[in-house]
A and B are shown apart, each in its own frame.
Chain A
């Protein structure tokens, strides 16, 4: 369960090169990516903040990022999900997600919540009217609620992934338990 205000980014097709440009992918550890989240939308070339970008606007804050349709398209860089997490977001809401970004989020503990176009508009409108609009994301019941007006919508999540997120389980632990079965399988591969 997550209750928080949200940061609105009503732009469609936000690609992973915007979320974190390639020149910031040179680390060999998972550290500090949040500083470069939306780097080129957030900072001028002289590294001064761009006043009109939402992350530089103190009116908006929270653990939920709300993006336009087709969020996270482009490259497979998990660094994009790391940057979102490291900045402090724990949930991204959009009406449509790119596949790899969505998988990456689920694998690192950011919950991607896909809502209808109309509910997404409702969220953007509510935040525009009141930047302190609070939302509740309820993973066990798979609902997202605009708290002030009480409107909610259900969202989908794979039951296996849901269980992992809720219990902090890990795919690799699961796979390591299958090791003997995997080895048997590998022996029969033709190449």
Chain B
């Protein structure tokens, strides 16, 4: 029987099949953060049960954490309370906890791969929809709700009907100035924000093969933005080189055994998908969003499309929120904020790309820029590679790690009515603060906007 990559990993984790019901799926790694876990731990307490496999569970604080003065007590009492609850719950259940100030602290989807928690062929869940990030390593990784967090804490399993399978093949070399983020935003603009709902995606083709692991993570991260539960890429030499020797990866004989297994993780020739899409990577332009969902994106040289008949009212509501009109050019629109960071684009490669553009230039005076590394490890790399100096010379400051303005749970909120070019994942109304207007883009585009103070085709600055 010919199997897809997804089938191979899924089938290897089915503990039990319920007739006409969901599969009971074993979960290798469970990542936990402060926002979606407290009610789950409370549930365990009420049931008088514990965590079945604490050693398969990893907790980090990221959603609520401040990105300045992390050495001081957290000012917001509600955030402080939630962080304290995570620490207490982790201690009580012997779960490794990387809290605020810990050297391994960072965004859950950044630190997982950094420490080798993320492995090919693993099942990984977290109470966060961008768990799909880990699919870049050939893992089945997806976001879950709090009831399911409790389920996994209690039983290391989850009940899931097997999703349908979609393959998205992109071939061709990307143009200079086009980033993995652009590839993802392009795909979402083609499929729409619900185009992959009910599916698990495999990304195939030379465009993804040629991407770094960081780039692949950006692409898989955004799978949820077209409705897919997750997206994955077959592991290859690049994957193995990335993970080898990291703290939690198998060592010695265990590594060899794992490698034998991992080398089987690819879609068999002729295996069937429920849906397939093919795109030409070489024709993708730098992308920017103009509306209030990630599917509302266009190539930077294009103007805002006219509404179609179906969904017209929703489309107009969206443009009204953004303060844009149909037919507007995006280039030249004045912006107020730039946010570089998040689980989508908060990795070292993103800071390298940003630095390359701003090097020798100056931040526009009217722009407020928040540069937030995804983890302490990323922050250290920024310093070690000399990027910090470049950034500071260009008038930027580096903040401390966390989810920050991506979802604006902490103080990093874009004020109402202001425009932010953001490397994060969602441009929903109010996502970055009540009334905030978000333009999603790559780190390169964000850098171009930061130095020019307006939406700019980054290729003109290369």
Query: Hey, which bits of chain A sit against chain B, CB under 8 A?
Result: 10-13, 15, 17-18, 21-23, 25-30, 40, 45, 68-70, 73-79, 81, 96-100, 103-104, 107-108, 158-161, 171-172, 174-176, 178-179, 181-182, 185-186, 189-191
CB-defined A-B contacts under 8 Å, sample of 5: A10-B313, A77-B35, A104-B145, A172-B47, A175-B155
Contact of B317 among A11, A81, A159 (CB under 8 A): A11
Please judge, given known A-B contacts A99-B229, A182-B52, whether A171 and B159 are in contact too, CB under 8 Å. Answer: yes
In the complex the two chains form, what is the Cα distance from A164 to B128 in whole Å?
25
Residues of A within 8 A of B435 (CB): 40, 45
Q: Find out whether the CB atom of B39 lies under 8 angstroms from the CB atom of A107.
A: no
Please judge, given known A-B contacts A68-B314, A172-B47, A190-B261, whether A178 and B24 are in contact too, CB under 8 Å. Answer: yes
Residues of A within 8 A of B258 (CB): 190-191
Q: Name the distance in Å between A156's Cβ and chain B's nearest Cβ.
A: 12
Excluding A30-B42, A190-B250, 20 further A-B contacts by CB distance (< 8 Å) are A10-B313, A15-B293, A21-B430, A22-B409, A25-B36, A26-B82, A28-B85, A40-B429, A70-B194, A73-B293, A74-B129, A74-B428, A76-B36, A76-B131, A77-B145, A99-B227, A100-B143, A161-B21, A182-B156, A186-B26
Q: Find out whether the CB atom of B434 lies under 8 angstroms from the CB atom of A172.
A: no
In the complex the two chains form, what is the Cα distance from A160 to B63 in whole Å?
34
Task: Report how many residues on chain B are interfacial, defined by Cβ distance under 8 Å.
Answer: 76
In chain B, residues 387-445, which have Cβ atoms closer than 8 Å to a Cβ of chain A? 407-409, 416, 426, 428-431, 434-435
Q: Find out whether the CB atom of A25 lies under 8 angstroms from the CB atom of B409.
A: yes
Q: Find out whether the CB atom of A28 lies under 8 angstroms from the CB atom of B81.
A: yes
Residues of A within 8 A of B21 (CB): 158-161
In the complex the two chains form, what is the Cα distance from A30 to B35 in whole Å?
12
In the complex the two chains form, what is the Cα distance from A79 to B127 in whole Å?
11
Chain-A contact segment, one of B12-20, B347-355, B359-367: B12-20
Of all A-B residue pairs in the complex, the 6 with the closest CB atoms, nearest first, are A160-B21, A78-B145, A76-B143, A175-B155, A26-B78, A104-B145
Total A-B contacts with CB atoms under 8 angstroms apart: 195
Residues of B within 8 A of A181 (CB): 15-16
Please judge, given known A-B contacts A22-B407, A70-B227, A176-B49, whether A186 and B156 are in contact too, CB under 8 Å. Answer: yes
Residues of B within 8 A of A96 (CB): 194, 197
Query: Hey, which bits of chain B sit against chain A, CB under 8 A?
Result: 15-16, 18, 20-22, 24, 26, 28, 35-36, 38-39, 42-43, 47, 49, 52-53, 63-64, 76, 78-79, 81-82, 85, 119, 122, 127-129, 131, 143-148, 150-151, 154-157, 159, 161, 163, 193-194, 197-198, 224, 227, 229, 250, 254, 257-258, 261, 293, 311, 313-314, 317, 407-409, 416, 426, 428-431, 434-435
Residues of B within 8 A of A103 (CB): 144-145, 148
Q: Find out whether the CB atom of B193 lies under 8 angstroms from the CB atom of A70.
A: yes
Residues of A within 8 A of B52 (CB): 179, 182
